[in-house]
Amino acid sequence: KGLPQVLEQLSAASGNQAVIWSIVEQTLPTLGSSSVVVSSVCRTALLAWGEDRRFFTDERYVKLWLRYARSTFSQDCVEGLHVFQHMHDQGIGRTSGMFYCRWAEALVQADTEQTAQALDVVNRGIAAGAQPLEYLQKAQRRIEEFALSR
């Protein structure tokens, strides 16, 4: 299947999260790793998924948002950081340690002078009780070590 067919399938599956997740998991590996393709698939899947708040902590939904954020970041780091900020503002992934770690990594990758802001993001995750805590603590140490090494 090509990208247009996958996007059409996702749109047709609107509201059926299990089918949407299945389509994404089965087709993304076959479409290649282009950030434009990944971003298009994830954006269409998120629109089809819907913005029901009860999914904001659903691991599949959060992973989809994180894929979208990272693929958008690969194309335009400022826009990618806006996606992470949007997730935070909406409460998407607020209990996911992975969310805070990926956001902090993107901040450092975008500008190595943003280590203080990246640490703040990780600390927000810890304060929010995001899990797994060990993942956040490792990220915190990595960022602190990076800041000290400069």
pLDDT > 80? residue 1: no
Q: What is the mean pLDDT of residues 33-50?
A: 95
pTM score, two decimals?
A: 0.94
Each residue's pLDDT tens digit, 91-150? 999 999 999 999 999 999 999 888 999 999 999 999 999 999 999 999 999 999 988 887
pLDDT exceeds cutoff 90 at 69: yes
Question: What dihedral do alpha carbons 30, 31, 35, 37 form, nearest 10°?
Answer: -140
